[in-house]
Chain A
């Protein structure tokens, strides 16, 4: 029979986290999977196709990992909805392939039995049999199949063993739904399942010894040690930060060069006018300024992927649990908050693994206070102004450290207050975390993950950020002034007029209307502040970024109020820094928070609160400082 292009059936891959679903998914589909981001749902269900040995095309869904079908976290809910055919535009799967880790049958079989109870045809993929047998487990797949009444296929998805046999098992006619023989009238399903699994494991998965001291145990003796464990954690985190900031510089330079070259090329093609200005300043400048952060995001996800894939992330969450508890959060909130130092967007998305809905909301709420990399250009502009050049870079580093510490401590304090206000959870979500054995990183999986995230970021830059850039460009271009330079034009534009309007609002913080306008423009993205300040303070382009930043710094230092007082005193600079630490000036983050919390109210509330808090904190710093005579 020739291969058909029509999809004959849908297969769903289901299993506990770490059972190897995604490895199996990739082994089945090769390179033709795509991410199906179902609207309104927070977690991705991967979708792909493959052909059976008889040439039939099957669709395969990779569902998020879950421990049961009770669905008490958002990713578990997606899996259950997919099984029941509740996802928009998707029917229930024709066959469910339950992927279980052969070493942990006692736990993983629970989920498989629940699928059989749902009345769905089921195939059991007994994954990682090599590891199980090395650990002394004696498996009998044939007996398991006979007992359960479903096909059981031993395999090793990471090396491609058993894939052909699985495809054979999915030939037509597809397997029928089995009967849940363990369910007895008068017995709770939970207890019935448990005793059935105990019996099954005694028959078909016998352990030679209960406990063995593995290599992972030896590694954990150091990595979870009360002293060495912390030393390793700090070293790893510092290493990740250092790498993100230093390695990303090189590709960021390329993007900047490409952006400059593209701008120059468009400038040479088009006559001077609004269209050229829109393309060069609005589109290329606006989108380029955001795409610039792509290398950092790629590196961050690469490191997160590495830490997760090797199994270290669970150890980090375990160690950090005590620290996070001080803020009323659990160790699971550590990864999202840590990611937020690079960018709040992946940080907010990483909160999906948190079971407790309230803890998740609180983590999302405070994540933007972890100083992200977009604030760094602003800090790098302002901090040297605070200190004289000859005061040494270590003092600048110290100030930077304090900036990061202030943001972090404030986030923790806010989390504690908010957690107290939201009250205890309806469902208990105490800390319970599986520590997977250490494994070599699965590079293909990590790279796929990084590419998916990077693509999502670029897509966002091409749509939302492009729109905002065009809007900002229009606001700062129209209405047109009759003549004069860029600064006059900006003063005459809608944006400039808004700046004049908001001067009374920012004056108590120690800023003039121009700085206020620059702050306002940076609500689309913080790093826009530097570009706006350069235009507003009439700085020529100095060729490269550092020269321009140095010239801008000189201009700012020399700027005065109309009465001749210097515009920026150390106090007003600190006030400006404090504003940037606290304000949520990032529209993409607001959009992601709205999606992840499924509530625009929460997102807008967060935006309003953080802006108001930033304003009050700046006011307190500036006016308090003046009262104290600074």
Chain B
């Protein structure tokens, strides 16, 4: 899984936020799923930039100067790509 994520990051492929490595700068490609409305309200929108700060049971991301903790289930609904 980690290797796949690494490959994805290097080749600039889209991956879920769970798969992205800690410390990576990312750009959101898509948000879809049952929790997407709430995610969008909190700023998880297409083209937004974010940095994944911590993984684990809940993830911590920094986005537009805000730090957000989100569950793995929600992170699975966020598709990201390494920001170039």
Judging by beta carbons under 8 Å apart, are B70 and A67 in contact? no
Bitwise interface map of B from 50 to 76 toward A, beta carbon under 8 Å scored 1, else 0: 010110111010101111111101100
Judging by beta carbons under 8 Å apart, are B57 and A321 in contact? yes
Bitwise interface map of A from 69 to 103 toward B, beta carbon under 8 Å scored 1, else 0: 01010000000000000000000000000000001
- Tell me if B39 counts as interface (CB < 8 A to partner A): yes
Q: How far is the CA of A597 from the CA of B70 in the complex (A)?
A: 27
Q: How far is the CA of A105 from the CA of B65 in the complex (A)?
A: 10
- Tell me if B32 counts as interface (CB < 8 A to partner A): no
How far, in Å, is B43 (CB) from chain A's closest CB?
4
- Tell me if A117 counts as interface (CB < 8 A to partner B): no
Across the interface, which residues of A come within 8 angstroms of B41, CB to CB? 67-68, 70, 107, 110
Judging by beta carbons under 8 Å apart, are A103 and B73 in contact? no
Q: Which residue of B lies closest to A311 (CB)?
A: B67
Judging by beta carbons under 8 Å apart, are A194 and B45 in contact? yes
Judging by beta carbons under 8 Å apart, are A431 and B66 in contact? no
Judging by beta carbons under 8 Å apart, are B38 and A432 in contact? yes
Q: Which residue of B lies closest to A108 (CB)?
A: B43
Knowing A106-B64, A190-B40, A211-B62 are in contact, say whether A430-B54 is a contact too (CB < 8 A).
no
Judging by beta carbons under 8 Å apart, are A107 and B69 in contact? no
- Tell me if B12 counts as interface (CB < 8 A to partner A): no
How far, in Å, is B63 (CB) from chain A's closest CB?
8
Across the interface, which residues of B come within 8 angstroms of A435, CB to CB? 60, 66-69
Judging by beta carbons under 8 Å apart, are B65 and A103 in contact? yes
- Tell me if B48 counts as interface (CB < 8 A to partner A): yes
Partner of A432, one of B51, B53, B69: B69
Judging by beta carbons under 8 Å apart, are B40 and A432 in contact? no
Across the interface, which residues of B come within 8 angstroms of A431, CB to CB? 58, 69-71, 74
Judging by beta carbons under 8 Å apart, are B70 and A220 in contact? no
Judging by beta carbons under 8 Å apart, are B66 and A107 in contact? yes
Judging by beta carbons under 8 Å apart, are B69 and A318 in contact? yes
How far, in Å, is A112 (CB) from chain B's closest CB?
13
Judging by beta carbons under 8 Å apart, are B65 and A104 in contact? yes
How far, in Å, is B25 (CB) from chain A's closest CB?
7
Judging by beta carbons under 8 Å apart, are A430 and B60 in contact? no
Judging by beta carbons under 8 Å apart, are B25 and A432 in contact? no
- Tell me if B7 counts as interface (CB < 8 A to partner A): no
- Tell me if A322 counts as interface (CB < 8 A to partner B): yes
- Tell me if B84 counts as interface (CB < 8 A to partner A): no
How far, in Å, is B16 (CB) from chain A's closest CB?
14
Interface residues of B, dominant DSSP:
mixed
Across the interface, which residues of B come within 8 angstroms of A107, CB to CB? 41-43, 64, 66
Q: How far is the CA of A220 from the CA of B71 in the complex (A)?
A: 18
Partner of B67, one of A105, A194, A216: A216
- Tell me if A264 counts as interface (CB < 8 A to partner B): no
Q: Which residue of B lies closest to A435 (CB)?
A: B67
> How many A residues touch B, CB cutoff 8 Å?
39
In A199-250, which residues have CB < 8 Å from any B CB? Answer: 207, 210-212, 216-217, 220, 224, 226
How far, in Å, is A225 (CB) from chain B's closest CB?
10
- Tell me if A168 counts as interface (CB < 8 A to partner B): no
Judging by beta carbons under 8 Å apart, are A434 and B66 in contact? yes
- Tell me if A433 counts as interface (CB < 8 A to partner B): yes
- Tell me if B47 counts as interface (CB < 8 A to partner A): yes
Partner of A106, one of B48, B57, B74: B48
Judging by beta carbons under 8 Å apart, are A432 and B65 in contact? no
Q: Which residue of B lies closest to A103 (CB)?
A: B65
Judging by beta carbons under 8 Å apart, are B57 and A322 in contact? yes
- Tell me if A198 counts as interface (CB < 8 A to partner B): yes
Judging by beta carbons under 8 Å apart, are A198 and B47 in contact? yes
Knowing A430-B70, A431-B74 are in contact, say whether A70-B37 is a contact too (CB < 8 A).
yes
Q: Which residue of A lies closest to B68 (CB)?
A: A434
Judging by beta carbons under 8 Å apart, are B42 and A432 in contact? yes
Judging by beta carbons under 8 Å apart, are B60 and A224 in contact? yes
Bitwise interface map of B from 14 to 41 toward A, beta carbon under 8 Å scored 1, else 0: 0000000000010000000011011111
Q: Which residue of A lies closest to B33 (CB)?
A: A428
How far, in Å, is B17 (CB) from chain A's closest CB?
12
Q: Which residue of A lies closest to B49 (CB)?
A: A210
Interface centre among A106, A321, A325, by most chain B C-beta atoms within 10 angstroms, is A106
Q: How far is the CA of A217 from the CA of B23 in the complex (A)?
A: 13
Across the interface, which residues of A come within 8 angstroms of B46, CB to CB? 194
- Tell me if A548 counts as interface (CB < 8 A to partner B): no
Across the interface, which residues of A come within 8 angstroms of B65, CB to CB? 103-104, 135, 137, 207, 212
Judging by beta carbons under 8 Å apart, are B66 and A432 in contact? no
Partner of A434, one of B37, B42, B45: B42
Q: A104-B65, A430-B74, A432-B35 are in contact. List 11 more A-B contacts (CB 8 A).
A: A104-B43, A106-B43, A107-B41, A190-B37, A194-B40, A207-B64, A318-B58, A432-B42, A432-B69, A433-B69, A434-B42
Task: Pick 25 A–B contacts, CB within 8 A, sort by A.
Answer: A72-B38, A104-B43, A106-B64, A135-B65, A194-B46, A198-B47, A211-B51, A216-B67, A217-B53, A217-B67, A220-B60, A220-B67, A321-B57, A321-B69, A321-B71, A322-B58, A325-B57, A428-B38, A431-B58, A431-B70, A433-B70, A434-B67, A434-B68, A435-B67, A437-B67
Q: Which residues of B contact A (CB under 8 A)?
A: 25, 34-35, 37-43, 45-49, 51, 53-54, 56-58, 60, 62, 64-71, 73-74, 83
Please provide the 8 A-B residue pairs with the shortest distance between their CB atoms, ordered closest to farther.
A431-B71, A107-B43, A435-B67, A67-B41, A428-B35, A430-B71, A428-B34, A433-B69
